[in-house]
Each structure stands twice: as structure tokens, then as C-alpha cells.
Chain A
Amino acid sequence: MHFVTIIGIVAGAAVGLALALFFTVCIVKKSNDIGDSMGTLRDFHSNVNVFDSSNDVDKDRSSYINTNQVFREHLYEAIEEAQKREEKRKAVKQLRR
């Protein structure tokens, strides 16, 4: 038997072993680890707003945005929104009472 064939057999067995281990752990985890998920962005009514994206910064120098300025503006907006939300919630509760 040629040494390349032997390497092929060993490689196949190793990949098979890893895959078998992977599937075993997945199946056992599904059976015995219940409710392992945590809150996601969606659960907190949020989506990430990506306002500046470049895959090659050195090439797209012109697309630079002053992000600190944007963050500051968005943060003030978020604080205002949060205050408004809470006031609205309190008002609704008072109306219900």
C-alpha cells in the first residue's frame, strides 16, 4: 500500500472520529441541557444600526465619518427616548388606575 493511501485512510478516520464526537456531543446536549439560550438583541427590542462600514479602510479613506459626533447625537436621542417611554408608561398606568 502506498504511503499516500495510508495518509488518506488516517485522515479519513480522524475526520470521521471528530465528526462522530461532534454529533454525539450535540445530541447529548440537546437531550440533557435544557433552555441554554439567553436573551438576544431581538428580545430587547433592538437592532444594531451600522452607519459606517468599509471592508478596505486604506482604499475608502473618503468614506470616513466622525463617529464620536454621531454617537453623541444618538446617545442624547436614546436618553430622551428612554425618558419619554418611561413617562408614557407611567401615564398609561395612571390612566388605567
Chain B
Amino acid sequence: MINEKYRCPGCGVAMEFDPATQKLHCEFCNSSYTVKEMETMQEEMKAAMEKHGIDYTKEIPGFAESDPEASGEEAPADNASEAAGAGSSPATSETIQMRVLHCNSCGGELAVTDTEASSFCPFCGQATVVTERLEGWLKPDYIIPFKVTKEEAEQTIRKRLKKGFFIPRKIKNFETECLRGIYVPFWMYDVYYGDTQYWTYEVNRNRYFSQTKHCRRSGDCTLLDMTLDASSLVPDGSSQRLEPYDMSELKKFDAAYLSGFYSNRHDMGAKQLEQLAIQRAANLFDAYIEKDVKNSLTSRRNAKLFSSDPIGKAMNPRYALLPVWFLTFRTDDEPHTILVNGQTGKMVGAVPYVKWKAVTLFLLLLALCSAPLVLLSLIVIPFLLDGMDPEEKAKLAWQLGAGSAVLVTLVWRAVWKRYDAMTKSRELTESKVTNRFVRERQGR
């Protein structure tokens, strides 16, 4: 239901939050008010109505809900079990639970999924906030309002894609399918993580024998405001790449910020994600310790983790809505969804590359890298071989073969790591789940 406080005090038209001015803006009479000003006016209005004995709750115009039984709709899955952190089962990939609301401005029907908290009337374009999904245990504690405008988000994506040398032309000149500003639900935790790790490594005792040694690291860390997305419809990989958000700009939640944007309520409870938060802290901690161990050892040979005794606790869960722009487009019937952090403007997405350009570059680099090494072998090795006895020649051959094999293996691992990361990023960008998450909303 749309609340009166998002209506323009001057002309009564629904107002929308403008990221550029950080104010609620009325497109009809061009007036703007801050969220605080609107709240003050709302309080004054309520006081005046109470003084004159008017029931202000009946005066609030907005979206009337259609009768679920009459329309054959199922009631929403908002239940108390979610409050305890159990979370509702999300809509399956085949079925989407929809709920029909009626616009009080034009009477049109507005269909929302069971997790949507704000949307638009597809007929008259009026912004609406489903306030019942933002009350009680569903009420977010914090929000970061959109700072990046719709135009800026699209401009950022176009500019960046145009710069990519290996990006196909049809992607550079993509036609936007839809661009939606969505507040994505997140749980924020403070996570304490500590661990005592024992590592083994090998050092040479003499020419033939090596000795295994042990090293120990004990340490801990407290990670503040770690965010984990609380919507099962947004892949974790995509939401984590949108980081970092500037948490100093967190604001106490006010539904006025949602006006003019889409938003979802969480469908994963705080308890469900606690282990994931600890796991993320563990990954960051382990990476730090691994680097520390490998940098401090004189011999890194076969350095590996032998045992660990971790302790982790996710504390103080807070529910926050964070702004994300989702842009979808299609090439060769393949969906692509590019994300932009609605606060910092960080863009996230991976697109296919032009194969012939990549092959040309590879051949060029192959000529540049291989030719000097081959020439060097042709010129230097015959000189080295002069005066060598057969045993020394065999030793040199072995050293050359083994050395290059080790080097090629190391480089190949680095290549595979990067290629794998790129493939995973592309899978996220081409994910049909994310694409549907954006497209299933009614546009205006």
C-alpha cells in the first residue's frame, strides 16, 4: 500500500526518490523535499487531523489488495517461522508466486512477486511501496539510498563496454531490454574469526635428503559490517562483486527511499547466513595467513596447511537494503545482466570476447615470446657445449627440460586460474535466474 507521506504535499501526486538530489521529487509540480522534511510534514498533518477528529488512516489513498480467494491467488508466504530465521522457501524456477494489487489512482492491476516490497503501476506509472512487507520483523534496520542515477548507470556501462577491445560490436551497441534500480536485501554481521594453523614445509638437509619442518601461526580478526545478500534470487557471486559499499553512509531505514525504485524483502533468515558469514571470514583470514607463511619461509617447497583449529562467531545481525542497478540486454538470444553498485557506481559483469582478435593477439605474443628464447637456445647452447664431457651435457639437458617443465606448469596454473574466473563471471552475467529476477517485475 502506498503511504501518504510519499505524496506531494502541494499537488498530491506520488513522489519518487531522486538519487541526484537525495530528495523526494514531484515530477508534476517540480517540488522537492528531503525525507526528514516529509516526515515532519507527515507528523504535523497527523496531529492536525487528530485534533479535528479525522481518522487519517482511512484517508490514505493507495493500492487496494484484491481478494486472494476471489482471484484464486495464494496468500503470501509471510509467516512467523521466517522471523525466527528459518526463511521461506523461495519460488521455484518453474513457478513464481504473484500477488495482485489494485492501483487506487487508475484502478489498474499490479502484480508483485511474494518478495517484492516496492514497484510501479504498469498503467499510470505510480510508484508504490508494499508497506506490509516492510513492517515488524520484515522492517529493515538500515538503507543506503541510491546515489547513482539511472542515466549515470547506463552511461557507465556503455562507456566501459565501448572501451573493451575484445568485446563484440553488437554488445558494444547493445539495446537495453530493461534497466531497473532494485534495493537488494542484505544481512550485515560483525564477524570474529581466529585460528591456530600448523603448516609443513621442506628444507634441504644435504644434496640428497630433505627435512620436513613445521611452522605455526595464531591470529584473529574482527570484520565489521560484512554483507551477505539475503535474497535467494541474486547469486552470491554477483552480490559479493558489488562490494565495497561505503557503510558510513548507512541511514536508518525509511520507506520513502524506496519510492521510485523496486525492492525485495529477504527470503533467507539471519541464522541461515551466519555460517556463510563465518566461511567468508575464514577465506579472507586463510588467504592472509597463507601469504604471510609463504613470504616468511626461506624454503616454500611443499608448504601446505597441516592442521587448523578455527573459532568463529557472527554477531549482531542487521537487515539492510542496498542499492543495485540491473541492466539486461540480449545478443543472439542470450541474456546478459550487468550490475552497477547504486552507491559507488562499480560495474560488475563479463561478456564474450571476439575469438579472432584473441587468436591474433596470441599468435603475436607467441612470436614475441618464443622467438627470442628459441634464438637464444640456438646461439648460446652450442657455445656452452664446447668442451663439455657427455655427463655434463646430459646434466644440462636434464636441467633445461625439468626447469622449463616446472615453469610451464606454474604459468599454466596461473592461466587456468584466470580463465576459470573469467568463465565463472560470464556464467553469472548470463545467468537466467538473475535475468528473470530483473525482468519479472512490471515496468511502467
Q: Which residues of A contact B (CB under 8 A)?
A: 2-5, 7-29, 31-41, 43-58, 65, 67-68, 70-71, 74-75, 78-79, 81-83, 85-86, 93, 97
Contacts and interface: CB of A to CB of B under 8 A. Distances in A.
B217 interface: yes
Contacts of A67: 194, 196, 218, 309
A37 B241 contact: yes
A56 B212 CA distance: 10
A12 to B, nearest CB: 3
B397 A18 contact: no
Given A8-B400, A33-B350, A78-B190, A17 B219 contact: no
B166 A35 contact: no
Contacts, number: 259
A82 B191 CA distance: 9
29 contacts: A2-B385, A8-B377, A10-B404, A11-B404, A12-B370, A12-B404, A17-B369, A17-B408, A18-B407, A22-B418, A24-B362, A25-B419, A29-B422, A33-B350, A33-B425, A34-B160, A41-B288, A45-B225, A48-B289, A49-B221, A51-B218, A52-B218, A71-B311, A75-B311, A78-B315, A82-B224, A85-B190, A93-B252, A97-B252
A46 B419 CA distance: 30
Given A31-B163, A53-B292, 7 more contacts: A5-B381, A16-B369, A34-B338, A44-B226, A45-B224, A48-B220, A74-B192
Contacts of B412: 18, 21
Contacts of A11: 373, 377, 400-401, 403-404
Given A31-B164, A34-B160, A44-B225, A79 B421 contact: no
Given A24-B358, A55-B215, A83-B316, A4 B396 contact: yes
A54 B347 CA distance: 42
B147 interface: no
Contact of A35 (B348, B352, B385): B348
Nearest to B363: A20
Which 10 A-B residue pairings sit nearest by Cβ, starting from the closest? A16-B370, A12-B373, A8-B377, A11-B404, A39-B243, A52-B218, A43-B244, A20-B365, A16-B369, A44-B223
Given A2-B382, A4-B397, A58-B213, A86 B377 contact: no
Interface string B370-391: 1111101110111001000000
B4 to A, nearest CB: 20
A5 B377 contact: yes
Contacts of A68: 311
B70 interface: no
A81 B191 CA distance: 11
B408 A86 contact: no
B220 A49 contact: yes
B309 to A, nearest CB: 8
B216 A35 contact: no
Contact of B374 (A2, A12, A20, A38): A12
Given A5-B382, A13-B373, A27 B194 contact: no
Nearest to B225: A44
B436 interface: no
A22 B415 contact: yes
B240 interface: yes
Contacts of A81: 190, 222
Residue with the highest number of chain A CB atoms closer than 10 Å, among B347, B378, B411: B411
